[in-house]
Structure 1
Amino acid sequence: MQTPTDSPGAGVVLLTRPECHLCEDARSVVARVAAELGVDWQELSVTEAPGLAARFAEELPVLFIDGVQRDFWSIDEARLRRLLA
């Protein structure tokens, strides 16, 4: 069984860290696109997932869709729309 520390889980998951300006920007993009497309998403902080924190420390924020890393640092809105369409 996987835990939040080694897997981001299913669906759209944005891995972030506190006080991260890139994370704030990514959160805005994901929230806007998900709302427009009617897609649920969740945010997971590295403070809750130390395994993911160690693995992706240099790439935050990281966007996962169904457990697959799709973007990091800066979330491309057009790409996200294509991935969720």
Structure 2
Amino acid sequence: MDRTPDAPRVRLLTRPGCHLCDEARTVVEQVCAELGEAYEEVDLDAAAADDPELRRRYTDEVPVTFVDGAQHDYWRVDPARLRTALARPRR
């Protein structure tokens, strides 16, 4: 996942109706708000229309969290681990 320098550091790949996605979103929202970081949420199914590789690669792992363009977690987001990753300088 390519990142531009001004893009949010955290990307959350989700699906509608996914209870794990709802839980992950809550953690990401809280940690990002606490640290003053932005995040973006991407619907896997909508994005896969333009990039079928996304669905092939991540369909069984949603929600998937990326930090600075690199995969960070899937299924669950550990708030302490996310804080630690965001404490590092942007890649």
TM-score (norm 2): 0.80
> How far 1:34 moved relative to its partner?
0.1
Structure 1's 55 and 8: CA in aligned 2 closer, same or farther, altered over 3 A?
A: farther
Runs (5+) with no aligned partner, structure 2: none
Equivalent of residue 25 in structure 1, options 23, 28, 40: 23
- 1:38-77 aligned within 5 A: 38-50=36-48, 51=52, 52-77=54-79
> How far 1:8 moved relative to its partner?
6.2
| Secondary structure, counterpart of 1:49 in structure 2 | helix
Structure showing the higher helix proportion among its residues: 2
Instruction: Report how many residues are paired.
Output: 79
| Secondary structure, counterpart of 1:60 in structure 2 | coil
- 1:6-25 aligned within 5 A: 7=1, 9=3, 10=7, 11-25=9-23
Q: Distance in 1 between matches of 2:27 and 2:2?
A: 19
Structure 1's 34 and 27: CA in aligned 2 closer, same or farther, altered over 3 A?
A: same
Counterpart code for 1:25: E
Q: Which residue of 2 aligns with 1:84?
A: 86
TM-score (norm 1): 0.86
| Secondary structure, counterpart of 2:16 in structure 1 | coil
CA contact (8 A) 1:8 1:64 kept: no
Identity across matched positions, percent: 51
Aligned CA RMSD, in angstroms, stands at: 1.3
CA contact (8 A) 1:61 1:72 kept: yes
Structure 1's 53 and 20: CA in aligned 2 closer, same or farther, altered over 3 A?
A: same
